[in-house]
């Protein structure tokens, strides 16, 4: 199925030439591949937008998030947002916009016993839980990998056989499961104020994403401090408290995981991996690899 210069909503199976006017009362699973310079959603529902290709700034609650290829962003119900792109580029987008009513049905199912669901199947909570409004990269997120899977599914003819409600409930399950873990990490931040915890956590996610996006680079604390607007000591202590490793240790960990994947693939030699990921030399790489996996890289 082609989405070139059209806006397709999988809930009503209709292709349109103009952007959908989203609203809180309906559900949307939208695919499009167009040049969209601007869009605004004032009375918003829970929205998850995945950029397979393209870029732009998304302003959520007056906070700007720059999104690029393979990023996605979450905005809560009643959080107005707008998208701005000043460049003439094609954005290839997948977007879920979920009504409050459907979110309430999902939350009711999660929180109620089987007996209560049978006794009061339509007694739904009035308010949805507040999610972390932030941009994420698909490579570091279970929800991101789910969005990527739905994106590829949407490009095949059998997508018409897939029920939009089923996909939305599955998306909500992954979203809320992942957020339970995120809130556990957030609560490791040493602050009494919830708003401070969320802000520090948002900046630590910027650090983590930067590390993943620059695996082969020599990353310095000065760089991490600049992109997160946190002092180097604040990054060091807070990152370790949240993720269990210092930024340097975390960088080595994800580099070694990438090295393992490349060696398992069989297409790269050990020397290739050392060069690709910019390890200091073969000897130090082998030592780190054996310490992490229990066997030298020659075993793989």
In a domain, 1, yes or no: no
Query: How many domains does the chain contain in total?
Result: 3
In a domain, 2, yes or no: no
In a domain, 214, yes or no: yes
What pLDDT, on a 0 to 100 scale, did the predictor assign at position 128? 52
Average pLDDT on 103-130 reads 57
Reported as a single tens digit per residue, the pLDDT across 28-65 is: 999 999 999 999 998 889 999 999 999 999 999 888 99
- Which among 149, 6, 146, 159 has a CA at the least distance from the CA of 74? 146
Are 62 and 104 in contact by the 8 Å Cβ rule? The answer is: no
Helix axes 100-111, 164-186, angle to 10 degrees: 70
Question: Is the pTM above the cut of 0.85?
Answer: no
Reported as a single tens digit per residue, the pLDDT across 81-97 is: 999 998 888 999 999 99
94 and 219 fall within a common domain: no
219 and 285 fall within a common domain: no
106 and 138 fall within a common domain: yes
155 and 15 fall within a common domain: yes
What pLDDT, on a 0 to 100 scale, did the predictor assign at position 44? 85
292 and 277 fall within a common domain: yes
What pLDDT, on a 0 to 100 scale, did the predictor assign at position 130? 62
Are 153 and 162 in contact by the 8 Å Cβ rule? The answer is: yes
Helix axes 142-154, 164-186, angle to 10 degrees: 160
For residue 124, give its domain range.
7-186
208 and 182 fall within a common domain: no
In a domain, 130, yes or no: yes
SS3 82: strand
Mean pLDDT of the residues in the chain: 89
Are 53 and 11 in contact by the 8 Å Cβ rule? The answer is: no
Are 198 and 186 in contact by the 8 Å Cβ rule? The answer is: yes
Are 91 and 146 in contact by the 8 Å Cβ rule? The answer is: no
Q: Is the pLDDT of residue 3 over 60?
A: yes
DSSP sequence for 100-163: HHHHHHHHHHHHS-HHHHHH-TT---SSPPPP---EEEGGG-HHHHHHHHHHHHHTSGGGGGS-
What pLDDT, on a 0 to 100 scale, did the predictor assign at position 114? 42
- Which among 173, 111, 102 has a CA at the least distance from the CA of 142? 173
In a domain, 181, yes or no: yes
Q: How far is residue 125 CA from its own chain's centroid?
A: 26
With a pLDDT cut of 90, the percent of the chain lying above it is 67
């Amino acid at each position: 199925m082609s989405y070139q210069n059209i806006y397709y909503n999988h809930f009503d199976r209709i292709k349109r030439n103009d952007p959908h006017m989203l609203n809180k009362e309906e559900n949307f699973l939208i695919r499009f591949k167009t040049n969209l310079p601007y869009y605004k959603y004032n009375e918003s529902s829970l929205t998850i937008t995945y950029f397979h290709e393209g870029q732009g700034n998304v302003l959520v609650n007056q906070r700007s998030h720059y999104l690029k290829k393979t990023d996605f962003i979450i905005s809560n119900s009643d959080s107005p947002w707008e998208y701005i792109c000043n460049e003439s580029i094609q954005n290839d987008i997948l977007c879920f916009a979920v009504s409050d009513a459907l979110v309430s049905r999902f939350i009711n199912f999660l929180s109620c016993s089987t007996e209560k669901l049978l006794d009061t199947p339509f007694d739904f909570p009035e308010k949805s839980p507040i999610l972390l409004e932030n941009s994420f990269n698909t490579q570091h997120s279970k929800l991101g990998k789910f969005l990527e899977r739905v994106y590829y599914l949407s490009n095949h003819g059998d997508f018409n056989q897939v029920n939009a409600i089923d996909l939305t409930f599955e998306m909500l399950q992954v979203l809320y499961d992942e957020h339970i873990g995120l809130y556990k990490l957030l609560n490791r931040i040493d602050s009494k104020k919830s708003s401070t915890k969320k802000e520090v956590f948002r900046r630590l996610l910027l650090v983590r994403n930067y590390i993943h996006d620059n695996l082969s680079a020599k990353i310095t604390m000065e760089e991490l401090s600049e992109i997160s607007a946190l002092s180097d000591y604040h990054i060091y202590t807070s990152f370790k408290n949240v993720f269990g490793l210092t930024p340097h240790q975390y960088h080595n960990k994800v580099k070694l995981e990438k090295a393992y994947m490349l060696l398992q693939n069989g297409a790269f030699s050990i020397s290739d991996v050392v060069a690709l990921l910019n390890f200091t030399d073969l000897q130090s790489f082998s030592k780190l690899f054996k310490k992490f996996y229990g066997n030298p890289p020659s075993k793989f």
